A = this chain, B = another copy of it.
Amino acid sequence: MSLIVTGTVALDNVKTPCGMKKDMLGGSAAHFSMSARLFTKVHLAAVVGKDFPNKHLQFLRRQKVDISSLIAEEGKTFRWEGEYKKEDLNTALTLETELGVIGCKPRIFEEQKNIPNVFLANIDPDIQMDLLKLMKKPRLVGLDSMNLWIAHKKPSLLKLMKKVDLFVVNDGEARALSGEDNLVKAAKKLHQLGPKLVVVKKGEHGVLFHSNKLTFSFAAYPVEKVVDPTGAGDTFAGGLMGYLSKARKLDAATLKKAVLYGTTTASFNVQGFGMAKTAPLTISDVNKRMKELVEFIKP
């Protein structure tokens, strides 16, 4: 079943111990699409500026992402400039942001309102809510956010959390939003805020899943050389949500497999700048690495 995602589509300048790249295609919805496309048809609903390079549009089309609702508004595309230091590749240091058209509401076609699976990738929670309100009868709604919105738009985020099924959050955000230092407790508290499925991403340390019936934790795939972690969380969410959209079930085996797909696709993402390693991926590449991951973590 098809999947619609809103979030940012951005131009990224990224510096890591491996080098520096400018004007890369980035943003939460774009990174999400790169892994979700491996499992199902992905519709990308987002706003860019008139300056958005045509080559990035062509790239997204070649990746079979539906960009009919990727709208170019008057103004500039959202830009993010960040750096990762050698000592802590898990943490992005934001050097500069240029918001541009980021505050514009997403608009979608009438037939897209019936898409059954919805992912609200990281962007202002009010914009996430705008998209959600357009959807007629979503089967599965997923949500990601970030520290900025937890700090500045908590009421909007909490309202949204009551309306979603799946909440994907990193460890620092889980602690900040729940007020709990212990991650197991934090996941339970987030669950109580609405979403029946909570996934806490711990970067190189893997992932913790919590629902009413099922709690589990997997280590991450062992990547020896992290080149650029930008978009790893979005890629994770794309693998997870993409597989859940395809599987049409939410039993324990499906949920575990979805988290493994998220973990595996994210491991490719960090091995190259931007989408260098996720763009060429096929499902068979992912399945091959996922087998290695299962060997690596099975007790």
Contact = CB atoms under 8 A, between A and B. Distances in A.
Interface of A: 86-87, 89, 181-185, 202, 204-206, 208, 215-220, 222-226, 256, 260, 293-299
15 contacts: A86-B181, A183-B204, A185-B224, A206-B219, A215-B296, A217-B220, A217-B222, A217-B297, A218-B297, A256-B299, A293-B299, A297-B297, A297-B299, A298-B298, A298-B299
A182 B299 contact: no
A57 B117 CA distance: 64
B222 A87 contact: no
A114 to B, nearest CB: 34
Nearest to A299: B294
B86 A223 contact: no
| Oligomeric state, in copies | 2
B297 A216 contact: yes
A19 B222 CA distance: 38
A219 B222 contact: no
Contact of A223 (B89, B184, B293): B184
Contact of A205 (B181, B202, B296): B202
B182 A225 contact: yes
A87 B171 CA distance: 13
The 10 closest A-B pairs by CB, nearest first: A217-B219, A205-B205, A184-B222, A294-B299, A184-B224, A185-B224, A216-B296, A297-B299, A298-B299, A182-B224
Contacts of A222: 184, 208, 215, 217
A181 B87 contact: yes
Contacts of A215: 222, 296
